[in-house]
Structure 1
Amino acid sequence: MTFTRLPEISPDEIIAHMNDPRVTEHMPLATFVWDEAFCGKFVGMKEDCWQRDGLGHWAILGDGAYIGWGGFQKEGEEWDFGLVLKAECFGLGARIARKALDFARSDERIPFVTFLLPPSRKHLKGLDRLGARLVGEVDHSGSTFLKFRLDTK
C-alpha cells in the first residue's frame, strides 16, 4: 500500500470510482454525478488543503494501481480522517486506516483524529477495534453524521 497525491491519478479513474453507486451508498453529500469539471475542482480543493495545512488526502495505491483516496483534512481545529475505496477494495479499509493512523501518531500536529460516518453505516466494529469512541451526532453541510474520536498521543 502506498500513498501518493491525487493529481497523479487519471481523472477518468477517479470519476469512475466516485460514480459507482456501491461507493456512494453511504455518502449523503454525494448527490450528483461526477464529471471532469467537478473532478478537477475536487482534486484542486484537496491540493489546497496540502498547501494550507501541509497535509491532506492522498490517492491510495495497491500494487501500483489506484484503489481509492483518503487521509486527513483540517476541520476547524480538528483533523478528520476520511477513506473512500473502490468497491472491490472495501476489505482493505482497516489495513489502510492503520497505516494512515500510524502516520498521524508520528505527527505532532495531530493529537487526535475524528471520523464522520452517516447513521446508515451499521458496521462500526472496525472503529471500535481502532480505539475510536463515539462523541455524538453532528450536522455537516445539512446532513447528520456520527462523530467518533481517536486519540493519537
Structure 2
Amino acid sequence: MTQTSEREITFVRLPDVSADDIIAHMSDPRVAEHMPLLTFDWDHKTAADFVAAKEQCWQRDGLGHWAILCNGAYVGWGGFQKEGDEWDFGLVLKPQSFGLGRRISKKALKIAKADPRIPFVTFLLPPSRKNLGALTRLGAQFVEETEYAGAWFMKYRLNTL
C-alpha cells in the first residue's frame, strides 16, 4: 500500500468528477453524522444543483470548492465560499479518507494565504465534532457559537496574513 506521504493531492473543479462519486459520498451515513444541514437524499438532480451552486461561487468570487483527488481518485470536496465579508473553508471527505484532512487543509490554506483578498478564513464545525486538535494546531481560534441555516455551529477563525 502507498504511504500517505507519497500520495498526490490535487484539486479539480467539481464538474470534472462523476456525479455518481459525489452522490455515493454524500449518501454515506458516516458523512451525514457531522453535517447537520444534510437532511435530504442525494440523487442526480441534487448533485447537479450542488455542482452548479458551487460553480456560481467560482464565477462570482473567483474562488470556490474543488473536488479533491488523491492519486487521481475522488476522496471528497472542499474549498472556500464567501459568506458576507468572510471566506469560510469547508472540507467534506469520504470516511476512508478522513486521515487526509490535515494535508488537504494545509494545501488549501496555502492558496488562501497567497490571496490578498483573504485576511482570514473561518471554519464552521458542528457540535458533534469533538476532536478539534488538528484545527487548533493550524492556529485557528474559537470565535463563537453561531446559527447558520437553522443549525448551530462552532465558529473558528484562522488569520492568513
TM-score higher than 0.5: yes
Identity, in percent, stands at: 67
| Structure-2 separation of matches of 1:119 and 1:10 | 31
1:42-70 Cα shifts (integer Å, max 9, x gaps): 00000000000000000000001111000
2:90 equivalent in structure 1: 82
Map 1:38-57 to 2 at 5 A.
38-57=46-65
1:85 Cα deviation from its structure 2 partner:
0.4
Tell me which stretches of 4 or more aligned residues in structure 1 moved more than 3 Å.
none
Which residue matches 2:79? 71
- What's the TM-score, normalizing by structure 2? 0.94
AA matched with 1:110: I
Deviation at 1:23, TM superposition (A): 1.0
Task: Report the counterpart of residue 102 of structure 1 in structure 2.
Answer: 110
Query: 1:22 maps to which residue?
Result: 30
From 117, 120, 124, the equivalent of 2:128 is: 120
Measure, in 1, the Cα distance between the counterparts of 2:99 and 2:30. Answer: 13
SS at match of 1:15: helix
Letter in 2 for 1:59: A
Residue 147 (structure 1) aligns with:
155
TM-score (norm 1): 0.99
Total equivalences in the alignment:
153
Does the residue aligned with 1:44 lie in a helix, a strand or coil? helix
